[in-house]
Structure 1
């Protein structure tokens, strides 16, 4: 009789079992026959899913934003245009147009009903290896306007819109502008309101019936209407428009800081209304793409956190010119030194008046 073989040391499981063993003995299938994923694999899949959602969200927002951006022919080639320097120059403009404002809005915002278009804010933003720098140009600066003789620089916008303003700034400063961005009254208010207001530290008590400014000294949250009044007030300062320039620089930094904070960027219900308000308010040159606008925002955020600096074109005098009114004359030598540094993308000089 044949002797039966000895039973195996590790017997096979019953045929009805769905549990499968690897050589290592680790079980990879559960009782229902499905593979069991390792914790690490689950984490990697979750991270991949989050990444896909974030990328899709960013791409979708980008595509939507590109379609919303308003364009204008602000920059053009012309004979005698300054040569390109180092770094990038943006011309940032706050327009006081009242075309789209109702009478009620004009009264609420204290902007009057003038039909002409001028600019309350004219700023050059420079960035590159040096900077970023915000250089404010007083709106009453007495300069040559191509084809129109000498006048206040903001009159160039009324005479020829963004294109003539850009050309006037280029010829007055010797800087070649790379991009142009403009925000109007109503748009500015909507942008600040979309952010839920911005934190501003008012240096002293302000009261101005012309702009509607009425603030006590100290840090406070301003809504859109209040922020516009703060940006337009020049009667509360002994140096008039120059005091307003500093307030405008302060507000720009506050808006950039709030807009690029994690509380805004990581919350779609906050970010999308802000982007919508910004794109409705913003007009840029035809060459400015989404990456350019993103870079603009990042540089403004750097300034809000103390990287870079803000300054104003050095002033020599503030005479009154017949037929023009009170104007601002630049300190020719100091202004030339400032613009030379910007063209070369080097550290800008510091002047006593700044």
Structure 2
């Protein structure tokens, strides 16, 4: 039986505004690829991983070279570690502690002598650069978590973090490392020779000219003035996750990747440092490759922020000191990002939580733009990217913020409109079946509209009966009914039967998980509570 999901008949201080922003250039004119064909659902079995749905062939932005892919896979580690640096070392820590921690940060001259910079704006912009640091991983960790390969000492993650002027909002913009860019004219720091401006991938700026050329390239490409620079190594990542007590993530589908060893069934999981490492590195769990991995990294960032703000680590000076020390041990920063800036920032950031954070990747246009001598690059959607960075320059929100207490919808595999449901009242409470039928229909499910009473009226826990051939649809329905349990019934057919128990409290909103749309920016920015696991109520 195949689960088609289709109903069947019958069943540091704030920068000053010193003028208008400079418009940026986004490289050559590109050809927009044709719209992808609609994906069909795969066989809905629990005996193994679901195969990737068919779709049009798409060239991977990373190409086929294994060493480059391995370096890219570690990108989420720096994303998570750096966000933790910003939160853990600034949200309520004392000046003396931060001054001591600051002494361990390696400094780098980034902004000295930079020409033609964009005008400063409101808020604070931090460019986060992740570099390969697997040479510091132990042999045991290398074997257990499949971290083979030599370190490339290259840049594989670029992220722009914008903190609003009132410090009530944090915006995280992922810059794909294979983005097409024009590297500005510069003097080679090794040979001393002048190099004219030339086309390249954005991550090549670091290899050619280090942090300073990286900042110049990003500022030229985005038109955003960079206030601070952070360069992070991933070697302390596992220790950091363990020190905060692990991070909870949720997945609507099983995640298996033979390259990293990741093997998670559908559901919620509290990940230790090693498991988190596998989660953010995996890129072979579905057909979305690097875009799917970027989406999971965003989910992990939101979950990490939730863990940090909920765990009380910010109120425990001893634990905070241990965690922050482990993080800052692998950080390089500009000379201006010091203890005073960290303290001032911390006092303003105490109220940040997942609902006040927002995540987006630069909207993409061509995922396989070929450049002679460079290879396959990804180009940005010029109009959408300009709107995104104009909002950053003008200190405007990127996503709709509906309130910090609004519950997040649960991520599901199958759209609720494609799930047929019959509701039975398993209690003596009058009208409960009709109420749940209306709530499920309001949440988008295809209820029959004819609720009835169950034969036995003493049910405690809500039960969902389903045909094993429709297990993905059943899991999607269970996500909308917190506390319910699944009961497979052979021959049941496509119509799920929900027997509502006395423990039922609410119907949770759900939405279809779309990693690719979230990762390439085509769906727009989302708040942290939208990508984080929903809280039980």
TM-score band, normalised by shorter chain:
0.7 to 0.9
The reply on whether 1:72 has 2:108 as its aligned counterpart is yes
The reply on whether 1:318 has 2:367 as its aligned counterpart is yes
Q: CA RMSD in A?
A: 2.8
8 Å contact kept, 2:95–2:339: no
Instruction: Quote the residue 1:133 is aligned against.
Output: 171
Instruction: Quote the residue 2:214 is aligned against.
Output: 165
Note the alpha carbon deviations across 1:212-232, whole angstroms, 9 max, x for none: 433223221112222222222
Q: Look up the SS of the partner of 2:115 in the other structure.
A: coil
Residues 297 and 98 (structure 1), Cα distance of their counterparts in 2 relative to 1, 3 Å cut: farther
1:294 and 1:209 mapped to 2: Cα distance? 43
The reply on whether 1:92 has 2:134 as its aligned counterpart is no
Instruction: Quote the residue 1:213 is aligned against.
Output: 262
Instruction: Quote the residue 2:147 is aligned against.
Output: 111
8 Å contact kept, 2:247–2:304: yes
Superposition deviation, residue 294 in structure 1:
5.1
The reply on whether 1:120 has 2:156 as its aligned counterpart is yes
Structure number with bigger Rg? 1
1:283 to 314, 329, 332: 332
Note the alpha carbon deviations across 1:276-326, whole angstroms, 9 max, x for none: 211213222211123433566688876642114211111111115254443
1:283 and 1:352 mapped to 2: Cα distance? 32
Residues 206 and 165 (structure 1), Cα distance of their counterparts in 2 relative to 1, 3 Å cut: farther
Superposition deviation, residue 207 in structure 1:
2.0
Which sections of structure 2, spanning at least 5 residues, go unmatched? Answer: 1-92, 186-196, 401-520, 525-537
Instruction: Give the TM-score normalised by the residue count of structure 1.
Output: 0.74
8 Å contact kept, 1:75–1:180: no
1:336 to 386, 391, 402: 386
Note the alpha carbon deviations across 1:53-110, whole angstroms, 9 max, x for none: xxxx934423322222232223333222222122210112232233333444433443
Note the alpha carbon deviations across 1:208-266, whole angstroms, 9 max, x for none: 23344332232211122222222222232433222222222222233333334452123
Superposition deviation, residue 176 in structure 1:
0.9
Instruction: Quote the residue 1:327 is aligned against.
Output: 377
1:182 and 1:153 mapped to 2: Cα distance? 16
Residues 106 and 91 (structure 1), Cα distance of their counterparts in 2 relative to 1, 3 Å cut: same
1:285 and 1:330 mapped to 2: Cα distance? 28
Residues 269 and 349 (structure 1), Cα distance of their counterparts in 2 relative to 1, 3 Å cut: closer
Residues 251 and 221 (structure 1), Cα distance of their counterparts in 2 relative to 1, 3 Å cut: same
What are the equivalent positions in structure 2 for 1:1-354 lying under 5 Å apart?
Answer: 58-129=94-165, 131-147=169-185, 149-261=198-310, 263-293=312-342, 304-321=353-370, 323-348=373-398, 352-354=522-524
Instruction: Give the TM-score normalised by the residue count of structure 2.
Output: 0.50
Q: Look up the SS of the partner of 2:94 in the other structure.
A: helix
Paired residue total: 298
Q: Look up the SS of the partner of 2:355 in the other structure.
A: coil
Which sections of structure 1, spanning at least 5 residues, go unmatched? Answer: 1-56
Name the structure with the higher helix share.
1
1:223 and 1:298 mapped to 2: Cα distance? 30
Instruction: Quote the residue 2:455 is aligned against.
Output: none
Superposition deviation, residue 150 in structure 1:
2.0
1:210 and 1:159 mapped to 2: Cα distance? 30
8 Å contact kept, 2:98–2:342: no
Residues 129 and 96 (structure 1), Cα distance of their counterparts in 2 relative to 1, 3 Å cut: same
Residues 101 and 302 (structure 1), Cα distance of their counterparts in 2 relative to 1, 3 Å cut: same
Superposition deviation, residue 336 in structure 1:
0.9
Instruction: Quote the residue 2:407 is aligned against.
Output: none
Residues 235 and 139 (structure 1), Cα distance of their counterparts in 2 relative to 1, 3 Å cut: farther
Instruction: Quote the residue 1:52 is aligned against.
Output: none
Residues 63 and 89 (structure 1), Cα distance of their counterparts in 2 relative to 1, 3 Å cut: closer
